[in-house]
Amino acid sequence: MNLLAIDTSTELGSIAVWRDGDLVTRRCPPGISHSETLLPLISGTLRETGLGFADLDGLAFAAGPGSFTGLRVACGVAQGLAFAHELPLVPVGTLDAMALASGGEQVIVLLDARMGEIYHGRFSAAIALAPVAVCSPMTLPVPDSAGWLACGNGLAAYPVLRQRLAACVQHWQPDLMPDAGAVARLAAPRLARGDPVDAAAAVPVYVRNKVALTVSERLAKGGRA
């Protein structure tokens, strides 16, 4: 099975080519918008692996949550390629892929959502225990059991999370970020099972519907107008 995966849910965009279980992952160039770099990176990586679009069995993309703009880029590019090359499409949850990449059994994923909030999810063996949600660090639900692994840049963005989770978390991975390789690893078995979606029906998963704080909200949080 040959699969192309895309993740631009954060500023650290990446793509991955899954070729019969082998993965080739490449990062988007930093400091340039994903919309400018994604297609050239895809073309170059496919050439590097000796594949063309005709050799692919499907496409996958990180559907969210994450950067609103980045999610739209990944979804739009994946939809366009799926239509153009008549390929099935598999949306993958961003936090689901992070849970898999962590290697943990019981995982709390914490991704910085900006505006003083985090996207969070709990996973057991990479299976979501509840829908991904967004909240402030101080209102994050804390597990009542020990032995968890916590990962994601939310830990670095909001140090209070370490204090609140200290009693239940055994391992910390604050540097773990979304990556197309993990998206491909989750998408491959779904594609094999015949679980893709109609490209026209693929949509980003924003989780929240607010892009930025108002001036009054920023001032209330101690920021500047």
The answer on pLDDT for 222 being more than 70 is no
How confident is residue 224, by pLDDT bands cut at 50, 70 and 90?
very low
75/83 Cα distance (integer angstroms): 12
Length of the chain as a residue count:
225
**60 pLDDT higher than 50:** yes
Cα distance between residue 7 and residue 29, in whole Å: 13
pLDDT of residue 160: 98
Q: How far apart are the C-alpha atoms of 74 and 98, rounded to whole Å?
A: 17
pTM: 0.92
| pLDDT bracket for residue 217 (50, 70, 90) | very low
Asked if the model's pLDDT at residue 56 lies above 60, the reply is: yes
CB neighbour list of residue 80: distance below 8 Å, 6 or more residues apart: none
Q: What's the pLDDT tens digit per position in 100-149?
A: 999 999 999 999 999 999 999 999 999 999 999 999 999 999 999 999 99
User: What tens digit of pLDDT does each residue of 147-176 get?
Assistant: 999 999 999 999 999 999 999 999 999 999
Q: Which fold has domain 2-94+178-201?
A: Nucleotidyltransferase; domain 5 (3.30.420)
Q: What digits encode the pLDDT tens for the residues 187-200? A: 999 999 999 999 99
Q: What is the dihedral of CA 165, 166, 168, 169, to 10 degrees?
A: 90
Spatial neighbors of 57 by CB under 8 A, at least 6 apart, are: 1, 2, 3, 87, 88, 191
String of DSSP letters for 190-224: HHHHT--B-GGG-----SS---S--HHHHHHTT--
Q: Contact 187/90 with Cβ under 8 angstroms?
A: yes
- Residue reference for tokens 């073309």: 43
Q: Is the pLDDT of residue 215 over 70?
A: no
- Alpha-carbon distance 7 to 195, whole Å? 19
The whole-number average pLDDT for the span 65-73 is: 97
What percentage of the chain carries pLDDT values higher than 90? 90
CATH 3.30.420.40 segments of the chain: 2-94+178-201, 95-173
pLDDT, residue 44, reads 97
- pLDDT at residue 22, as a whole number: 96
**95-173 carries CATH number 3.30.2130.10:** no
Helix (H, G, I), strand (E, B) or coil at 172: strand
pLDDT band, residue 213 (cuts 50/70/90): very low
| Dihedral in degrees, nearest 10, Cα atoms 30, 33, 35, 37 | -30
Q: What is the percentage of the chain residues whose pLDDT exceeds 70? A: 92
